[in-house]
Amino acid sequence: MYVYLYDEFLKRKKYESTIKEIETRLTDFGIAGKILRLQKSINAHSTIEEEIAKGAKTIIMVGNDNTFGHVLSRGAVGKALFGFLPIGPENTIADVLGIPVGVEACEILSRRRKIPLDIGWVNNRYFVSQLHIPPHDISVSYDDMFSVSARYKKMELVVCNLQPFFWKNSKAGDYTVHPQDGKLEAFLRPMKKKHVFKEVYEEPSIFPFEEMVVTGKTPFVMVTDGKRSKEKKITIRLAKKRLEMIVGRKRRF
Amino acid sequence: MFQKNQDEETQQYANTTSPEDLETVVGPSMQVEGDFVSEGSIIVKGTVSGTVKTSKLLRAEEGSKIIANIKAADAVICGQVKGSVRVNQTIEISATAQILGDISCKSLTVQPGALISGKITMSGIEMQSASKPAKRRVAGSVKTKKDRSVGTRTQNEVDEES
């Protein structure tokens, strides 16, 4: 049985025709199912658990990057096959998964090409695409083996999982970080100076890792899949092949 | 976030992807302490102390400082190293490099101007060392000096008997 989790923003009138077209196409493919509308107050995890208990085998998220992050940050613990039906702007993860935005995504879902995905785990919740800590006085230790600090006190940290990160540098060549390579990639960028309009950064350092501990002398802001929180100490781990997902042939990994 | 300067140095979601590109990079102001182990290549531009180990290439850029014993498949040294350097294949030491420690490798390239203080050991030498005892071939067999003295004494004993 298929369960479709519609994001709140899809209630808007401009998406009405797209939704109708998608629902018709899903019926044509014989993969139509139960529709649930997500709200900010609804806990995605308990909703997914409930539907799985009722017999749902495939959970499809309908929306954009925020929907994807919101559902999977808590819901990735459910033992079901996950799919994604991207609609509207802010859909970068769909491109990584090889899923076209809009009605064409129905065909990918009907083919059910499924692969296990590695996801990140930070302080009791999952993150799927990216974790970001804006410049702060932090210290980092990797895999219980080595620690990293910078001459300049403030450092910015980005941890990439599903979204690839491409760092273009004319002097040293180009670096591409790949999702789903069995490691998480951390980019550390010390802040050299802070002018009135612009912050000056040093070129980033890159560390692939499986476990990382970030500690701040004072609480620091952390943004995981678009969700902000304040933390003093975080442990980031890789949950290998935690999630089974329907992907397209043109995926980036 | 990095996207602020996207046009200058970063660009997400690139079309070109190849697993060979993944590397560990230690930036110029970064200090790494402990057992620094990586499965991929390592580029050091800052300071590393402890141990450094990689199954691929280690590249220590000009201005870098490594106070550690190094193990790598290949190495290119352009900065300062204090500690032993054990490389399985090739090591390239550039003009700006300063190495204080022993080096062992299979192939070595040193540019003029590089400073090295330590023992260099290269595998694959087949020459015999000169300190072995001299050998003399006698009637199809090899005898050492000790063997010859034993032979003389035996001849004297035979004369006395006769």
pLDDT for the residue B50: 94
pLDDT for the residue A118: 87
pLDDT for the residue B14: 33
Measured between CB atoms, which of A167, A192, A205 is closest to B26? A205
Cα distances from B82 to residues A149, A152, B65, B112, in angstroms, run 20, 24, 8, 20
d(CA A188, CA A201): 10
Q: What ipTM does this complex have?
A: 0.77
Backbone angles phi, psi at B75, to 5 degrees: -145, 145
| pLDDT, tens digit, 9 for 90 and up, residues B53-66 | 999 999 999 999 99
Residue A237's closest CA among A76, A97, A118? A118
Residue A142's closest CA among A237, A224, A219? A237
Per the CB < 8 Å rule, is A208 touching B38? yes
d(CA A154, CA A141): 16
The SS3 call for residue A115 is strand
Domain residue spans of chain A: 2-112, 126-240
Q: What is the mean pLDDT of residues B83-112?
A: 96
Per the CB < 8 Å rule, is B27 touching A190? yes
pLDDT for the residue B143: 47
Mean pLDDT split into 10-residue runs, chain A, 253 residues: 92 94 95 90 82 91 89 76 93 89 94 90 86 91 89 87 60 54 84 77 86 93 87 92 90 81
Domain residue spans of chain B: 21-122
Angle, CA of A158, A159 and A161, to the nearest 5°: 140
Backbone angles phi, psi at B117, to 5 degrees: -130, 105
Q: Which residues contact B84 (CB under 8 A, 6 or more apart)?
A: B69, B70, B101, B102, B103, B104, B118
Contact A86, A94 (CB under 8 A): yes
Chain B positions touching A132 (Cβ under 8 A) are 1
The SS3 call for residue A52 is helix
Per the CB < 8 Å rule, is B17 touching A164? yes
pLDDT for the residue B133: 56
Under 8 Å CB pairs connecting chains A and B tally to: 119
Measured between CB atoms, which of A96, A178, A208 is closest to B24? A208
Looking at chain B, which residue has its C-alpha nearest residue A149?
A: B31
Chain A positions touching B6 (Cβ under 8 A) are none
CATH entry, A126-240, from 1.10.8.350, 2.60.200.30, 3.40.50.150, 3.40.640.10: 2.60.200.30
Q: Where are the alpha helices (DSSP H) in A80-204?
A: 93-97, 105-111
pLDDT(B20) > 50: no
Per the CB < 8 Å rule, is A95 touching B22? no
Structurally, at CATH architecture level, domain A2-112 sits in 3-Layer(aba) Sandwich (3.40)
Q: Which residues contact A244 (CB under 8 A, 6 or more apart)?
A: A80, A81, A82, A114, A115, A116, A117
Per the CB < 8 Å rule, is B27 touching A172? no
d(CA A236, CA A182): 14
pLDDT for the residue B16: 34
Least confident of A227-241, B41-55, B125-139: B125-139
pLDDT for the residue B124: 81
pLDDT for the residue A109: 95
**Given pLDDT bands bounded at 50, 70 and 90, which one contains residue B87?**
very high
